[in-house]
Structure 1
């Protein structure tokens, strides 16, 4: 049964390749052609391999010239014109094989390639799926893989929108990313830091185009191979990259409301020793946002101040990126990859903030209007160089990476404020310039001892330098005068040196992996003008371990542990406000320390005939918890301020389920229930909190005929307690539909995100001397987007691609 299915699948795939290949090549008269023949056998026992694919490519342009299937006895034969060629041989469950330096001269005798050995690929055998099309979600014990292209509602949207559709992940209206309810998550691109995110993950994810994303990996308990940053885990964004022969790629255009217009492409040109790739995107986005809040201040229970803040804003502008790169196959064991990425953007952010002051009877006694005109410009340059060497021994590999990122960002704002209580116009202006340099050098080595045991080791150095200059000026007597409290320069130097060692083995149905990572952190944050400095130098060890048990071929169990940390993002160290809303300031804390977390998880993975279920029980203990507190000021304003509290203990239960109800209808759902207990004090005030909460998501997709798909997604986030009050619930509904056009080469998609416009942050602060209620959207979540994608020499199924770590799997 298995062999019959394999042969049938191989035949279908080969006929598809053959149809495509012959449509690209003009036939050559039979009289000019020479016969090539041979026999394909298993390397282990010399048994013939029937129905394997043999494809012949021209060395000059890597175009396919001819292909065929092997017979029942493993033999094959085909004809080609004179020239220089190479052959690609593939068979399900075996490693692909390349035969180089095939030369055919005019008039020569037929060429016999003889016996060609194929080596079984155990990994490939495990990855064969019954469905020919990749599913939207792939569940593994240590990670979840979300295939972006399979979610119709992602078309034409940002990276933040895409992450918000990933199970276990939530993105609030400001773009803050949480994993299982915690914001201590590390976001990587192709397994490494990237210039696409160097401007700060929150704003960068809102800006980053989703068209370049192929898949998203969620790793909740990473091994020691990964950097220790991110106490809740790692989100790894895999970018599109194709390595198929010839020229292929895709083009896309987008139009949406509110203003969302863009165009993009990703192209690939493969020659025998070179693979050239390029990605480009340009977009114009401007979205409305804002919200309403009320603040009340008390003194011994007596109301002393009461006002509301109404904010209307429009944010966004023009942005784009260009990436060029190449893979150079020096030989069959050495690969060099180089890429250059340039990204630029210019946003015009306009806002109007209206304050209304009330008396004790809730009558308006004063009104103040503050108009804000902000421009934000950013330029980013990233150069990356990778070298990979493989060896004769299977899975033995050495990989070295060098990456340089240069980022420059400037924010300039003008403020004009009028009030019923004052005469004249208050004019202010601010500037915030930020220059950042990142340097990364990393080397990893994998050494297999046997087929069931191996060791991995690596070294890493990450050097980061940031200069941030902040200045606020106010017009007095016709001249702008510096406000001393908002004039300083932050110099931030972060040097992280790391080494790790991992060992793993299999014994029967069990597999074990254990390792330790050492990181030396050398961090200095200095306020130049005020001569304040915060130095942190510490050596930390981060062990990890996992024990897996294969109950049956369709059931697996894994117990894992890891220790991780979250260093405060440098903007949380800045003791300045952005000055857009001086009554509700958001400032940093130069004295913040990192969080450390011990994470434990038990996971159970079950495969069904038509679906997959992953259930997990997890527990995390965190010390030095960083929480944002809202503190009332003596001048009737509030300040949002990050501080280190004592501990947080959280545990939860999570389910991820994917099932094909019929051949045309599949559903995916996830549910996460957790409890978090925070303990700690700040300035002798207890901010302990105990909360039970949950979030869930349901996705349904229906295929109507061959070309049409419809999808509906619903998300709900339950309310939760905070150290100072409560975060209220939020829900959203997405719908989308797509149709294939141009004989399947193109896809037209219409989607609506947050149809009911209910995805808003609603929060309550309830303190003895301060109470606040707020509803806010950084950018309106509801949007309608029409996208068109055209595939050049590609089928609709996305390539696996990406920079993956096979050891952890």
Structure 2
């Protein structure tokens, strides 16, 4: 009986948490000695930099953290002040009082003033927002497309098109530069890119002249994992999910003396079922029915894909650093599509059924090499000179075999299509930053890109003897060259509570799109100036306002220039327009950032005026088919209000939300048809995270996109519910995450087109949105999450 009682006591004692003791202090301003309230205080364990406790200071600057006995270091963060780190803290019974801690005001330029809270997966800055991917439970084990769709202000529709605040023309970068991972505007590459290698996502809604002018709606910058701490550290991951989703990845870093080696690897096998249905009516000028048919699409896409990156940082000395890296990505997909047409007569009676079966083999490989040099000067740590060079090679091949059967027709129709793409891209740039003091600096840079894309498309059809003959109207080759030279200059300064930045960027563009077989060429040479300016004012220690302006452009992705896309659905072809010209946008924004006792709120008002708006129109033909054709339609006035909010309702309950209300007036016509439309819509996202125990965390998020008008009709509402849960195992070195995305499979694109001679309703999913994923991550000599300001990498701006 004694042994039983002893074992029971030991067992129950092991379930009880160890006794905690207070780690306390008082925070004041270094210069005035006034208390600093609402600052964030975070205690980390000295052994592995894992977060042990966090709190905010009271109005009198006091704070108390409850921690278990052990060794720690303390980090305190506050808007407009330099982070304060207190090292080598040992907490024992009865606790530790640090007394008065003094925090100095930051001398960093206005664009880097930020609010950082451990409680949120978002770091909000006045010029951008940083989404820390590792803290989003519903994104674990998913692709880059899934992760981007969880980022506030960003939406990825079922076809893979990306919008920012409801607008197209988004520039996607990787580590501040174009990447072989996402080359050529290939949206499907986002689905092939594993999310496990992504550290964070930056959303820049009104970029300065430092950034390339491309992307009228803004820039999305994907930051890959990389570390520079001494020794070896990293993480290993594995994923299994439904629909078929198997993957493995690692991210490793080794630092010794003056060398830092880093490597990322990911491989996955995925299948993506999808499809949809539509009803299309073609009308005569008097409104009578010309043709009517229904169609159903059932597809299954996917295969094996992987990427491998290897690089090194060489710290030549304390002032010179050289970084080189190689990235290789390859995928092999087997894509199936079954399209069924049902044709009806004027009395809605079925007259024929046609089934079109397409089997496509797709192979893609990319190679990217980059070399960067960084020089810092003795007089100031922000006195920098950098040189960057990057080369991208992309090769893509799609081969399709098509069998079409029609009721009442004995012999099937046999067709085959080929689509080959080859791209080279060379980037050269240099940037220089010269601070005169802690509050005044100038910077400038030069950049050149040389890009060539060759794309050949051909469709063949078998005749009565079985010999394949080329369709002349579906046989051509596009050669696209894009050479851009740019220079920029920026000046910025802080004058007390006022911050000012102004810049000017010039870009000389030489763009040619030539159809080699048909002999048509479209050349565009133009020079543009892109000014930018921002003014910020810090009302109090916890609130700041910023006004900003920038001029941007969006060159059409070369895929919008291609005369052909695929031949899976010849009744509804998507084709390109080689004569497209860029969109130009003037963007204005006013933002207010307010730090709350247990969270933060950011409110923004924005207005964008765009000329040369690119719109994809669905154009009906007399033979009962349509083409989806992009044109420079006209002008657009767009304006809206966006609010980002995060707050800790309790220590165990965290809440974040994003709301965007926008409206636009589009004016323009094509082929004497007026497509003017007034658009008004909204979207929102809310997420709640619950810390059930020290090791178990759950998250629930809901997203809603309201209906919106289009130049030809209307897009209907979509919504989705995501859930996730994570459990720390193996003494915190491993994490199991179970996530369910779009549990009710409601993220479906539904459209209505209502024109005088053409009416259509459709619903479509490029892939089934409902997914269930189980992932496991094991960390080697690495904390569960690298905190901003402690990690050797940081989250600074990358010049472009």
After superposition, residues 427-438 of structure 1 pair within 5 angstroms as 427-438=414-425
C-alpha deviation, 1:393, in angstroms? 2.1
Q: Give 1:363 deviation, angstroms.
A: 1.7
Compared CA separation, residues 295 and 777, structure 1 to 2 (3 A)? same
- Which position in structure 2 is the counterpart of 1:247? 232
Deviation at 1:756, TM superposition (A): 0.3
1:796 aligned to which of 784, 789, 797: 784
Gaps of 5+ in 1: 21-48, 55-70, 74-90, 95-119
State the alpha-carbon separation in 2 of the partners of residues 807 and 582 from structure 1: 44
Question: 1:441 corresponds to which residue?
Answer: 428
* 1:172 corresponding residue in structure 2: 157
Pairing partner for 1:2 from 27, 30, 47 = 27
Aligned residue-pair number:
720
Instruction: Render the CA deviation track for 1:778-801: whole Å, top value 9, x for unaligned.
Output: 000101000000000011122546
**Structure 2: unaligned runs, 5 residues or longer:** 1-25, 30-34, 52-83, 90-96
Match of 2:650 among 657, 662, 668: 662
CA–CA separation in structure 2 for the residues paired with 1:572 and 1:128: 38
Hey, what does 1:212 align to over in structure 2?
A: 197
Residue aligning to 2:19: none
Cα 1:581–1:803, aligned 2, differ >3 Å: closer, same or farther?
farther
1:366 aligns with 2:352: yes
CA deviation vs aligned residue, 1:554-604 (integer Å, no higher than 9, x gap): 000000000000000111111124111000110001111100000000000
1:357 pairs with 2:388: no
- Which residue of 2 is the match for residue 461 of structure 1? 448
| Aligned partner (choices 136, 143, 148) of residue 151 of structure 1 | 136
Q: Counterpart of 2:693?
A: 705
Taking structure 1 as the reference length, the TM-score comes to: 0.86
CA RMSD of aligned residues (A): 2.5
The Cα shift of 1:747 comes to 0.4
**Which whole-Å CA distance do the structure 2 matches of 1:752 and 1:238 have between them?**
24
Which of 745, 749, 763 aligns to 2:737? It is 749
| Contact 1:317 1:345 survives alignment (8 Å) | yes
Contact 1:547 1:558 in 2 (8 A): yes
Whole-angstrom distance in 2 between the partners of 1:365 and 1:562: 57
Alignment of 1:248-397 (within 5 A): 248-299=233-284, 300-394=286-380, 395-397=382-384
**C-alpha separation between the residues in 1 aligned to 2:693 and 2:727?**
10
1:417 equivalent among 394, 401, 404: 404
1:595 is aligned to 2:583: yes
Q: In 2 relative to 1, CA 170–322 (structure 1 residues): closer, same or farther, beyond 3 Å?
A: same
- 2:176 counterpart SS class: coil
Taking the TM superposition and a 5 Å limit, the aligned residue runs for 1:572-591 are: 572-591=560-579
**After the TM superposition, which segments of 4 or more aligned residues of structure 1 sit over 2 Å from their partners?**
3-6, 8-20, 49-54, 91-94, 120-131, 798-808
SS at match of 2:694: coil
Q: Counterpart in 1 of 2:534?
A: 546
Q: Which one of 6, 16, 21 corresponds to residue 47 of structure 2?
A: 16
Q: CA deviation at 1:634?
A: 1.6
Q: What is the distance in 2 between the residues matched to 1:423 and 1:18?
A: 72
CA 1:258–1:329 in 2, change beyond 3 Å: closer, same or farther?
A: same
Q: 1:516 to 1:725 in 2, by over 3 A?
A: same
Q: Equivalences for 1:613-652 in 2 at 5 Å? A: 613-652=601-640
SS in 1 for 2:188: helix
Q: 2:395 aligns with which of 396, 404, 408?
A: 408
Structure 1 position 778 matched with structure 2 position 766: yes
Whole-angstrom CA distance in 1 between matches of 2:248 and 2:85: 45
Distance 1:807 1:173 in 2: 31
CA shift in 2, pair 1:12/1:208, >3 Å: closer
- 1:190, 1:804 within 8 Å by CA — same for their partners in 2? no
Query: In 2, distance between residues paired with 1:521 and 1:197?
Result: 22
Deviations 1:284-340 (A, max 9, x none): 000110000111000020001000110000000000011000000000000000000
The counterpart of 2:703, out of the listed 715, 730, 734, is 715
Q: Distance in 2 between matches of 1:187 and 1:19?
A: 32
Aligned residue number for residue 766 of structure 1: 754
Post-superposition CA distance 1:693-751 (Å, at most 9, x none): 00000000000110000100100000000000000000000011110000010000100
8 Å CA contact 1:262, 1:281 repeated in 2: yes
In structure 1, how many angstroms separate the alpha carbons of the residues matched to 2:764 and 2:164? 21
Q: Is the 8 A contact 1:356 1:366 kept in 2?
A: yes
Aligned position for 1:106: none
Alignment of 1:169-248 (within 5 A): 169-248=154-233
Q: 2:682 aligns with which of 683, 694, 714?
A: 694
Tell me which residue corresponds to 1:105.
none
Does the Cα contact within 8 Å between 1:415 and 1:428 map onto a contact in 2? yes
Post-superposition offset of 1:12 = 5.4
Please report how far the alpha carbon of residue 360 of structure 1 lies from its aligned counterpart in structure 2 after TM superposition: 1.9
Task: Answer yes or no: is the 8 Å Cα contact 2:208–2:532 preserved in 1.
Answer: yes
State the TM-score, normalizing by the size of structure 2.
0.87
Q: Distance in 1 between matches of 2:383 and 2:168?
A: 36
Displacement, 1:398?
0.5
SS in 1 for 2:650: coil
SS at match of 1:645: strand
SS at match of 1:643: strand
Greater relative contact order (Cα < 8 A, sep 6+): 2
Q: Is the 8 A contact 2:565 2:574 kept in 1?
A: yes
Deviation at 1:507, TM superposition (A): 1.0
Distance, in Å, in 1 between the alignment partners of 2:150 and 2:366 is 27
1:506 deviation in Å? Answer: 1.0
Give the deviation of 1:521 after TM superposition: 0.4
How many Å separate the matches in 2 of 1:781 and 1:492?
A: 34
Shift of 1:121: 7.0
3-state SS, counterpart of residue 47 of structure 2: helix
